[in-house]
Structures are given as structure tokens and as C-alpha cells.
């Protein structure tokens, strides 16, 4: 395939980041050939092609939380086109992770991202049994439940 001799934007890499960037910039650069994506193998030949497809707002960096919340709003804008399948996301943790997960929950609340935080072994067991009646895991002292965030592609 021959490449154009010039373009307004050249993006190297046809993974999720390169293609998302091209998609966003296509709002500005509308003519065919304005944006060129160079991919050495194939679309999503790298990590994007083997990712599990899970979208969660469960990162320790606060900036990621706002980015993911924004991204979810984009996916929710056209679930069919983006194959967005909202089923929820659970972080089920032992005591050693309790404080860190509590921090994530506080940050989710601060940006209005819907989630529920259950604390204490007994309440966690009851909560999980409410979803899975054969739930048995011991030593779980926190459950962070993002109510509807998961993409499966």
C-alpha cells in the first residue's frame, strides 16, 4: 500500500491509544488523508488485541479515575457501537488492602462515580452471598462494587 507524501497528523501505532487519538482528531481534521496512522503489524496487534476488555475505575492514581469516568461516559453514549456491556466490577479484598481500597472509594465518591463500599468480614460475606449463594471466601473485609462499569469487547 502506498503512503501519502504528506498529512496533517501522523500517528505511530494502531493500538487503542493511536486509534482513539485518530478518532478524536477526526473531529478537527475532516478531509481524507489528513490523518495517517502508521502500524507496523496490524490493528490492535499489541496489548490492545489481547487485553481482557475490562473497564474499571479502580486505579490508585487520581488522574486515572477522572480519565476512566470520562471514558465510561463516552462508551455509554453508544453502547452498541462500542460493544459496551455494563455488568459491574467488584474488588474483593483481604484486610491488607482495606485502607487502599477505602481511598479509591472516597475518590470515586468525590467525582460522583457510582459505587458501594462494604466493610467488615460479616457484612462482606452477607453482601457476596446476596449475589452468589454459594459464596465461601474467608478473610474478606472490604468489597468495592462499581455498579455498572465493565466493557467486554
Ligand X SMILES: Cc1cc2nc3c(=O)[nH]c(=O)nc-3n(C[C@H](O)[C@H](O)[C@H](O)COP(=O)(O)OP(=O)(O)OC[C@H]3O[C@@H](n4cnc5c(N)ncnc54)[C@H](O)[C@@H]3O)c2cc1C
**Interface positions, 40-99, toward ligand X (CB under 6 A):** 40-41, 45-48, 50-54
Sign of the torsion formed by the C-alpha atoms of 64, 70, 74 and 80:
positive
Q: Does 1 help bind ligand X (rule: CB under 6 A)? A: no
In whole angstroms, the minimum distance from the beta carbon of 44 to ligand X comes to 6
Q: Which residue has the cell 455498579?
A: 147
Q: Does 12 help bind ligand X (rule: CB under 6 A)? A: yes
Q: What are phi and psi of 90, to 5 degrees?
A: -115, 130
The window from 1-9, 15-23, 79-87, 99-107 that contacts ligand X (CB under 6 A) reads 15-23
The distance of Cα 76 from the centroid of its chain, to the nearest Å, equals 12
Three-class DSSP category at 114:
coil
Closer CB to ligand X, 17 or 147, in the complex: 17
CA pair distance 127, 144, nearest whole angstrom: 11
- Give the interface with ligand X as residue ranges (CB under 6 A): 12-18, 38-41, 45-48, 50-54
Amino acid at each position: 500500500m502506498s503512503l501519502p507524501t504528506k498529512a496533517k497528523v501522523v500517528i505511530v501505532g494502531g493500538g487503542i491509544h493511536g486509534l482513539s487519538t485518530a478518532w478524536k482528531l477526526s473531529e478537527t481534521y475532516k478531509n481524507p488523508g489528513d490523518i495517517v496512522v502508521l502500524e507496523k503489524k496490524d490493528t490492535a496487534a499489541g496489548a490492545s488485541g489481547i487485553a481482557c476488555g475490562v473497564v474499571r475505575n479502580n486505579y490508585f492514581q487520581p488522574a486515572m479515575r477522572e480519565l476512566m469516568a470520562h471514558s465510561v461516559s463516552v462508551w455509554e453514549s453508544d453502547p452498541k457501537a462500542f460493544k459496551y456491556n455494563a455488568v459491574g466490577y467488584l474488588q474483593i479484598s483481604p484486610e491488607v488492602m482495606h485502607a487502599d481500597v477505602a481511598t479509591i472509594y472516597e475518590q470515586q465518591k468525590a467525582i460522583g462515580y457510582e459505587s458501594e463500599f462494604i466493610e467488615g468480614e460479616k457484612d462482606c460475606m452477607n453482601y457476596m452471598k446476596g449475589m452468589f449463594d454459594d459464596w465461601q471466601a474467608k478473610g474478606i473485609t472490604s468489597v468495592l462494587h462499581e455498579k455498572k462499569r465493565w466493557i467486554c469487547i
